[in-house]
Amino acid sequence: MTNPLLANFDTAPFSKIKPEHFLPAIKTAIVEAANEINTITNNHDTPTFENTIEALEFSGQRLDRITAILYNLNSAETNPAIQEATQVAAPLLAEHANDIILNEKLFDRIKKVYEHRNTLALSPEEKTLLDKKFKSFKRNGALLAKDAQQKLRKIDKELSELKLLFSKNVLADTQAFSLQITDEKKLKGLPEAALESALKLSQEKHKEGWTFTLDFPSYHAIVTYADDRELRKKMAIAYKQRGFQHNENNNEELVKKIALLRLERAKLLGYQTHAEYVLEERMAEKPQKVMEFLDQLYEKALPAAKKEFKKLQDFAAQNGIADLQIWDAAYFTEKLKKQEFDIDDKLTKPYFQLDKVVEGVFEVAQKLFDLNFIKTSDIDVYHEEVEVYKVSDNNNRFISYLYLDFYPRTGKRAGAWMTSYKNQWKKDAKDSRPHISIVCNFNRPTDTKPSLLTFREVTTLFHEFGHSLHGMLADTVYPSLSGTNVYWDFVELPSQIMENWAYERETLNLFAKHYENDTAIPISYIRKIKEAANFMEGLATIRQLSFGYLDMAWHHQKDFSRIEKVDLFEQEAMKHTLLYPQVPNTCMSTAFSHIFSGGYSSGYYSYKWAEVLDADAFELFLEKGIFDKKTAQSFKENILEKGGSEKPMKLYKKFRGRAPKMEALLKRAGLTKKIN
């Protein structure tokens, strides 16, 4: 049987790939990659940047492509066979990675090039690559004794398996829950589109009434609009119990094991904590700096958050709820926003048809960066709902392929993310362009309505599109420095700055048209959206900071011996940020995928960190004009194209002319005004 994953291909041949193709292909590609490493180490010539560093950088490319397809499918279109393939592949890949990183002959060659770095005529990107390769080996055990290296191998193998199991359990709990309602009276307050979707789901499952799930559109509709408080409570608790139930998907022991193994690994490498290890290669540099940053924002946001919470409590009391709970938060926030600004999602959703928003996002990219998007049916996809666009510039130069996957379904994890099926790189006079994907979970079209977005979902799409621009516009030589391969506390700048455009009148006028009659969104709505942008910002900031504190509690911990119950540890870490009463038998850590199965361990603070960067950066656009070509060109050339080819702060200063200032964020969030 011919394995399509081992054939030469440009775009992924999804329709030809079967789950059973992955393991044979990965095993073959591992052998191929190992042979490429042997070619480097068996070279008797003096180690040079070209025959060692560059050769290492371009080794294992087939393996990288195959694993990218596997892991992306495991997130967006998984099934038991793919999950099993991923679980079996993970330790093989971890072992292969360690075979490289702990290869003495290879490290010896890298070290020799590194020691002579000051005598080499290297470009800034080449210097970055050399520094990154050397540090990567050093930080992953190349200098350890043999027995310590073996221990490291064992830890890495176990971590790779545990992280996958964590994700699998969260997905299983998410998809196991469904809420069937047969009494229509219980559904009072829900938008018509949410009811249609729930009715359609019941019909597909051959059930009576309406079916709701923990997929975000369904979950969000209940907790935000359902007048039935018990319904909101049931949905909110189910969401907060993922990975924390007495079933086979329980993640409590996994959380402790992952955190403990990360600590053991860090200590093995000479660091006191996992956070200390991680942050050495971040803009923040040290855990103390992260804690100072979180504390500084906490001090600014807490007074505003307390005032907002009291206001919400009073409003709920006026509406018959004396004990405001977490499952009341979104509901009364939406009601109060409606009262204060005369605006809510029900009013604005008809103007945010998904197809039109996508067109609007594309037009923003055209105005800023001269990008054009042409839908194509020539590219293979992994699901019939996925759309592919060929992206080019005004000179008709091919830039990228962009995959769009918008609707929830079985086998697709919750949330929204950008990912890559192929990085950008340059070699042998060829500029190999990237293949980027945006994956979301928006409301499906119904029999009577197209997919309509809340304004929050509009900003989500702009956010992920910002990440995709970072990937699509990459213009570096080396794949490991391309696109979003940057410090984790810098990666959110392109995504978060894009959200700003969604609030601007010039942008909304491009796409916000009523789905029934194509009338433009009223100027009064735009003004109110802008005015409401900071609504409950203090509470939102404290909530985000609570996640950062929890992340640091798990990963800047030196001793796990006394941690028995995950929920109690979590409560202690977050207690100073909690304004709502604690909900018994719930836990966030057991479904906190960002830090336990994603790349954000010791890095969740970076969302707020990047807000400082994006607020400061967008101020320049506001000064010059939000579609000012010169400013956009500078952002493209200094941030989007450069990837991780230079230090983030150096790139930022090239764009902004100075270091970022926190004042821009505080001003935008309205926190200074609320405190004074």
Residue 331 makes CB contacts below 8 A (sequence gap 6+) with 223, 224, 225, 226, 232
> CA-to-CA distance for 280 and 487, rounded, in angstroms?
10
3-state DSSP call for residue 400? Answer: strand
- How many other CB atoms sit within 10 Å of the CB of residue 325? 15
Q: For residue 443, which of 215, 240, 223 has the smallest C-alpha distance? A: 215
CB 579 within 8 A of CB 328: no
Q: For residue 450, which of 495, 406, 396 has the smallest C-alpha distance? A: 406
Residue 549 sits at the vertex; the CA angle it makes with 546 and 553, to the nearest 5 degrees, is 135
CA dihedral sign, ordered 388, 394, 397, 399: negative
Residue 42 makes CB contacts below 8 A (sequence gap 6+) with none
> Counting beta carbons within 10 angstroms of the beta carbon of residue 185, is it exposed (0 to 12), middle (13 to 18) or buried (19 or more)?
exposed
Looking up tokens 């560059």 gives: 54
Q: Which helix (H) or strand (E) holds 432?
A: strand 430-432
> CA-to-CA distance for 312 and 328, rounded, in angstroms?
10
Q: For residue 478, which of 141, 134, 140, 124 has the smallest C-alpha distance? A: 124
> CA-to-CA distance for 484 and 556, rounded, in angstroms?
26
- How many other CB atoms sit within 10 Å of the CB of residue 81? 12
Q: How far is CA 27 from the centre of its chain?
A: 29
> CA-to-CA distance for 62 and 56, rounded, in angstroms?
13
> CA-to-CA distance for 553 and 572, rounded, in angstroms?
9
Q: What is the DSSP string of 334-373?
A: HHHHHHHHS--HHHHGGG-BHHHHHHHHHHHHHHHH-EEE
Q: Tell me which residues are annotated as active site.
A: 464
